[in-house]
Structure 1
Amino acid sequence: MARHLNDVPRWIVIAVWIAANIGMFVYAYLEYKQSVSFYYLRLIIGDALPWARASAACLNLNCMLILIPVCRNLISFLRGSLKRCCKKSVRRQLDKHITFHRYIAYMICLHTAIHIGAHVFNVERMFVAHEGISADGDDDDDDNLKGLLSALSNLDDGNPYETYINPVRDSTEDPSLFVVKTVAGTSGIVATLALIIMVSSSTEVIRRSYFELFWFTHHLFVLFFIGICVHGLQGIVRGQTNTDVHDPEVCQDKYDDWGSIAECPTPQFAASSPATWKWVIGPLILYFVERGVRFIRSKQSVYITKVVKHPSNVFELQMKKKGFKMGPGQYIFLHCPKISYLEWHPFTLTSAPDDEYFSVHIRRVGNWTNDLAKACHIDEAEFKEAWKLPSVSVDGPFGTATEDIFSYEVDIFVAAGIGVTPFASVLKHICYTLTGRYKKQTADPDFKLKKVYFFWICPDTNAFEWLHDLLRYYDKQMAETGFTDFLRYFVYLTRGWDKNMAKTIVLHDEDIYDPVTGLYQKTHYGRPNWDQIMPNIAKDHPGTKIGVFFCGPKVLSSTLHKACNQHSSKEGAIFYYNKENF
């Protein structure tokens, strides 16, 4: 059982969500499949009706849920509030909010496809019903009844629209033109196109390479929600309202006498009231309150106090903001009006809560980051006064999985490439906390951490020399305060060495400091073997709950996640896997 602790809570959440979708689908399907009110409508368009309505019900459910995981302030509030009442396994599900957001989006795509496919059949059969000829070409009483039902609006001159059931009034009209002329058709097309663009631009390749494209297209959610809210206003789907005096199962064979006999008056129909807005109004209000909070925070003054250029296209911004409070490993959204009035980009904070400033390290990999570097005069040798630096806005900070680092006695930090940034903040905070303990000779009761293993996997150590400085500072401080065994860090260089470097490594193998990084602990070459590392750590800490925190690419995340499950046991140690998501 211990091997599945990382996955069982997530499976439970997903199982409940899928069960809710199945329950909603079955309930709506049976309602439209068996309801007497829709007997005549089913006769015209067949089983495609319950399929269309069941998928629409599931769309309502998922459109209600889709916005909640992206309410960052709400997620941060819940993460902090649940610390008092819920176990870590429950709180950790909040760290997967973006993953759940994607799952819900995929479910919306599935039900959208079902809904559209069913309505394609519905429109075709509505046109065919006017001809009084069935789809298979046979002419019978059912076909005559379909033709009569489709012409009902012309039978009662006093109030012709009360008997209207088939929205197709002109059977000679082009079906495509009919769809475009209806509110349901136009709004459905708009919502579907917005959904396609949002989903297709949300792939990992586009998000990483063209973040601006992802950011702008994702705001089409406004059109999507407008489309689904007005989709049912015209009332295309109509149910019978006088089933108490006109039983369709009895009167369908007496259609020639409708209105002339007491037991079968002319059937009356009314549109189903639109319901989507009732499902989404709550989350929409919550989301716009969230955006209002972000807007207010974005108007608060932020001052860039220092700009530092690091090797390999990395630069650091140190900033100050009145009332800004952060935790280790949290992240912010950064906005520069000089570059764009709409774009906000997420960056992990690399400063510690104890610093007098907050900072981010930014790698120049896209248009926006390059424009920001130019605006901050990164490539200019001359020092620039603060007033010459661009004005920026900050939204956040927002919590992440690293908020739980101190609730474990042993932690394993795993970073790949630029994913090392959240751990820079965490390591600085640990260093400040430990040296503060030493100086004050006091212990923080909330600080349970006793041992940290830090694994840093990178293709080129020169790209992150700023972290080397932090680790050197850590080595020095820990040596002075007697906490030299508290942190063990392992730098893995996956590529970027040549024959000359290899010779240097061999010649200086016996030196105290690593010849490549200058750190006290030596560099490893290649990739870590987790099937060896995890059992060794578990052996050193039997019966311990170990927190594993990762920030990096998806492939390595899957490998590490599996290793945590595989090497967890009640007899040894239990590895709790946590991944940074923002």
Structure 2
Amino acid sequence: MEFSDEKKVKENPAECLLESIEIDHMVADEKTSELRDLNQSDWKQSNCNGDMKKTAVETSQSFVGMRRRRKGFNMLRFLEGSIAGKEEEAWKAIEKRFRQLAPDGKLSRDKFGACIGMKKDTTDFAGELYDVLARRREIMAAKGITLQELRAFWDDLTKEDLDSRLRIFFDLCDKNGDGKISREEVKTVLEWSASANKLNNLEKESETFVSLIMEELDPDRNGFIEIEHMEILVRGMWSSEEEKRLQKQYSKLPASPILGICNTPAFLKETEEVIMTNWKRIWVLTLWVAINLGLFVWKFMEYREKGAFKVMGYCVCVAKGAAETLKFNMALILFLVCRGTLTKLRSTFLSSIFPFDDNINFHMLVAVAISVGTFLHATMHLTCDFPRLTSCSNNKFMAILGPNFDFKQPSYPDLVASVPGVTGILMIIIMSFCFTLATPLFRKRKDKLPPLLQHLAGFNAFWYAHHLLVLCYALLILHGYFIFLAQDWYKRTTWMYIAVPVLIYVIERLVIKFYEFYHQVNVIKGVVYNGNVLALYLTKPPGFVYKSGTYLFIKCPDISNFEWHPFSITSAPSDDYLSVHIRALGDWTEALRNKFKEVCEPETKKRKGGIARLETKTYSDYVPSESSKKYPQIFIKGPYGAPAQSYEKYDILLLIGLGIGATPMISILKDLLNHIKQSDSHTNDAPKVPKRAYFYWVTKEQASFDWFKGVMDDVAEYDHDKIIEMHNHLSCMHEEGDARSVLITMLQQIQKSRGEEVDVVSGSRIRTHFARPNWEKVFEELASRHKGSQIGVFYCGPYTLVKELRGHCQNFSDSSRSTRFRFHKENF
């Protein structure tokens, strides 16, 4: 398309500001930046004068050519990260490190990796690379290399062509330098690669996989591999992937550029997205702040007009204003932990206007407000009101405040020792203790505390300390009832504020206690996995109805009669059992794992991939027998609502789990699978389910894949319409294309070409990806695939990733196309 209407352009030059050529950037690596560079260089603003002759197809062709010239960078890398196009800049940094590490002008073998920017744990690989490069250059490097020789090494490592890089990799495998890779050398490199990527199970099965590689790369059965055979596999391995990526990349380009609209200021777009994403939080926080301010001002002005103001001044106004906010917040903070009530409210229309998912975060915010209010109230009384009361002339005191104090002017000790004084001080002590033990330092960073304080840290200390707040509420009622300046009972309003939340909380606790025996469950099966994970399969109590994404509490009387711990339910609502997966991270969970480990038996059947685990015996009829009575007794309470249960509101799902954080997502996947099976059986009453679900599971241990292997295999077996797309990422592995993981990728490719469905890394039918996902790329691809959709993003894992995911949700939401990413974070 050409723009020939120059008259219109001259009359409205603002219309010629191109926001961008309509290109969907599918990936967030150097390909994206190269395409953007081409976009900027090929389409200048001067094109608004009618010079726009180049088509987007030509742009894509030049882009493809550049990608092919740089193919070697993506196929095979020996360096950490990508330095494509920045080789000289990187070399300057290497020169600087060389002078620091080699003051005598000779860089030793053990410092080579650090000099070229490799991590500390890659010393062995760097040493092997050093030897190969020296052998190729015929350099006697036993005593070190000079800067000039280091530059030669660097040139070899950064050459763009694949042939050069493949030759280096071949030499890495060819330990004796005879130009052939023997079976023993293949085994050595495979074991070294498995060790570098922390693949213990692969290392144990090395003989099997060595035979697989030799069968594929030694077709003539010579007993060795030649570089030609390896090159064919490597080129074929990446060419198909590369072509797919390129096809995605330039298939989105229009046949001609499209004139964009004027740029919207970035801060306005960001503000709009923040408001649209967080409108529930914003209005609720605004309402909460307004109520607190209203209560403070109301009580402040009330006491401004009272006689007490003449004695104590503005100090009593501030103290009473703060006290009024304390009454409200002490009621609210209790209601926010009434899980049963909140779970029921989630199922009503109120969930569309109130952010019930944020109840724990709001609970902590209200706790901060209580701390501020308590500080103001206590400080005003102890440092201002009490001194003024005791120092006031007796005549003035009797005339104004005599009736409130039975016509006896108190001393400072009298005020402190009074019922309001004692109860107030006790409340401050209890709340300070509870607040301190609830901080992240004490609750989750026990190891960073001095040894003497470590006994007061951890979940147990936090849990038991919070139960002291029952005493705090009793003291609060006494404190409010015996205040000096209010004589009429209806003006002593503390009990009025907290009556309803206390009643709801007490009823919930009594109901739980009443149904505790009813919710005693039998253990169907227990599995202890490597990685300190315990899977429990339990009988489902009658009437126990729940949604995927919810959680329950578990108590084991054999460990403690008082401790309840929350865990996501991993079974689907339609399953006739309950399951949870528990990672041993604290005293209680470790004790529970050990209890079941004592009664578990080693699995009699060896599993593919060398994964070992312990299991209890399975009782298919769910009736406890004499032998099953040895299992620890388990009680449950719940279910309780969680953010993930709102997944049904979306047509498109992005489920993200880190490590054991996959548990609520597994329940959702199982539910989707059950619906898929129902649809396959041609039932007409199958409920509506999301159209697509993308699951990203990131774990750092290979053994973790065994936790949910059955679910992954079921997805591959039954999901013929590809409703569920699973992406397993092993973060301990080096990225695909890295020389340390190339052999693993080869194994995956060989198995795929032979029609074998089981992945060599995960032991399931879902392929494992290396390293962490590129989240920008993930969101970019979803935004491109599902324009105009409401996409639910559900995340369970550490808070370290929350900021990044929230940012991508905002950045890739497009109001003009009604594409929205809605972020939900699991909280317990």
Would the TM-score normalized by the shorter structure come out above 0.5? yes
- 2 CA distance for matches of 1:436 and 1:532? 34
1:525/1:403 Cα in 2 relative to 1: closer, same or farther (>3 Å)?
same
Pick from 780, 784, 790: which aligns with 1:539?
784
- 1 CA distance for matches of 2:568 and 2:717? 25
Q: Residue 747 of structure 2 aligns with which residue?
A: 508
Pick from 345, 348, 352: which aligns with 1:78?
345
Q: Residue 97 of structure 1 aligns with which residue?
A: 359
Q: C-alpha deviations, 1:242-301, integer Å up to 9, x for none?
A: xxxxxxxxxxxxxxxxxxxxxxxxxxxx89942211111111111101111211222213
SS in 2 for 1:284: helix
TM-score when normalising by structure 2: 0.58
Pick from 206, 215, 236: which aligns with 2:484?
236
SS in 2 for 1:67: helix
Q: Residue 305 of structure 1 aligns with which residue?
A: 524
Give ranges in structure 2 of 5+ residues lacking alignment: 1-271, 447-457, 603-615, 618-626, 753-757
1:331 matched to 2:551? The reply is: yes
1:402/1:233 Cα in 2 relative to 1: closer, same or farther (>3 Å)?
closer
1:345/1:167 Cα in 2 relative to 1: closer, same or farther (>3 Å)?
farther
- 1 CA distance for matches of 2:748 and 2:532? 30
SS in 1 for 2:725: strand
Q: Residue 662 of structure 2 aligns with which residue?
A: 420
| 8 Å Cα contact 2:398-2:409 kept in structure 1 | no
- 2 CA distance for matches of 1:422 and 1:238? 51
Q: C-alpha deviations, 1:52-98, integer Å up to 9, x for none?
A: 0000011111112111111111111111132xxx6x6436x111111
| 8 Å Cα contact 2:553-2:565 kept in structure 1 | yes
1:215/1:496 Cα in 2 relative to 1: closer, same or farther (>3 Å)?
farther
Q: Residue 466 of structure 2 aligns with which residue?
A: 218
Q: Residue 188 of structure 1 aligns with which residue?
A: 424
SS in 2 for 1:412: strand
Task: Provide the identity percentage.
Answer: 28
- 1 CA distance for matches of 2:432 and 2:804? 31
| 8 Å Cα contact 1:237-1:271 kept in structure 2 | no
TM-score when normalising by structure 1: 0.82
1:166/1:21 Cα in 2 relative to 1: closer, same or farther (>3 Å)?
farther
| 8 Å Cα contact 2:523-2:631 kept in structure 1 | yes
**How is 1:436-515 mapped onto 2 (pairs within 5 angstroms)?**
436-440=678-682, 442=684, 444=686, 446-478=687-719, 482-483=720-721, 485-495=722-732, 502-511=741-750, 512=752, 514-515=759-760
SS in 1 for 2:816: coil
| 8 Å Cα contact 2:793-2:821 kept in structure 1 | yes
Q: C-alpha deviations, 1:210-250, integer Å up to 9, x for none?
A: 111111011111111112111133332368xxxxxxxxxxx
Q: C-alpha deviations, 1:139-198, integer Å up to 9, x for none?
A: xxxxxxx34223669xxxxxx96474787534xxxx4x4344111111011111111122
Pick from 562, 567, 572: which aligns with 1:352?
572
- 2 CA distance for matches of 1:496 and 1:212? 35
Structure 1 residue 326 displacement after superposition = 2.4
Amino acid at match of 1:367: D
Structure 1 residue 400 displacement after superposition = 1.8
| 8 Å Cα contact 1:183-1:231 kept in structure 2 | yes
- 2 CA distance for matches of 1:553 and 1:72? 22
Q: Residue 561 of structure 2 aligns with which residue?
A: 341
- 2 CA distance for matches of 1:3 and 1:309? 43
**How is 1:157-306 mapped onto 2 (pairs within 5 angstroms)?**
162=403, 164=405, 168-170=409-411, 175=412, 177-208=413-444, 210-237=458-485, 273-300=491-518, 301-306=520-525
- 1 CA distance for matches of 2:302 and 2:398? 26
Structure 1 residue 390 displacement after superposition = 2.0
1:147/1:496 Cα in 2 relative to 1: closer, same or farther (>3 Å)?
farther
Give ranges in structure 1 of 5+ residues lacking alignment: 130-145, 154-159, 240-269
Structure 1 residue 526 displacement after superposition = 3.3
Amino acid at match of 2:541: K
1:320 matched to 2:557? The reply is: no
- 2 CA distance for matches of 1:238 and 1:366? 49
Q: What is the root-mean-square deviation in Å for CA atoms of aligned residues?
A: 2.6
Q: Residue 385 of structure 2 aligns with which residue?
A: 122
| 8 Å Cα contact 2:523-2:538 kept in structure 1 | yes
- 2 CA distance for matches of 1:62 and 1:190? 18
Q: Residue 149 of structure 1 aligns with which residue?
A: 396
1:358/1:508 Cα in 2 relative to 1: closer, same or farther (>3 Å)?
same
Structure 1 residue 448 displacement after superposition = 3.8
Structure 1 residue 28 displacement after superposition = 0.7
Amino acid at match of 1:489: M
1:337/1:179 Cα in 2 relative to 1: closer, same or farther (>3 Å)?
farther
Larger radius of gyration: 2
